[in-house]
Homo-oligomer: A and B are copies of this chain.
Amino acid sequence: MNYIDIIGLVAALCTSISFLPQAIKTIRTRDTSAISLSMYCVFTGGTVLWLIYGIMIISYPVIIANTITLILAGIILAYKVRYK
């Protein structure tokens, strides 16, 4: 793996894992007032498409990164819908 791939991998890790602190904060506080419902609807939809794309090109980094993101963004979306 060359250093360019490593940059891509760290980028994927950051943009996936970054939703973990938001999911934890949302679960703890149930405060979703400042969170945009349309953002998480469009973002979650986009993540599903990324997952389909990753499966079709058989790219494990894309599949793994977007599975993590989908779970976390899905939790935040569910809390936003539940606790408007």
Contacts and interface: CB of A to CB of B under 8 A. Distances in A.
Interface string A1-24: 000100110111111011111101
Interface string A31-44: 11111101111110
Contacts of A46: 10-15, 18
A53 interface: yes
A5 to B, nearest CB: 9
Interface in A26-63: 26, 29, 31-36, 38-43, 45-47, 49-50, 52-53, 56-57
Interface of A: 4, 7-8, 10-15, 17-22, 24-26, 29, 31-36, 38-43, 45-47, 49-50, 52-53, 56-57
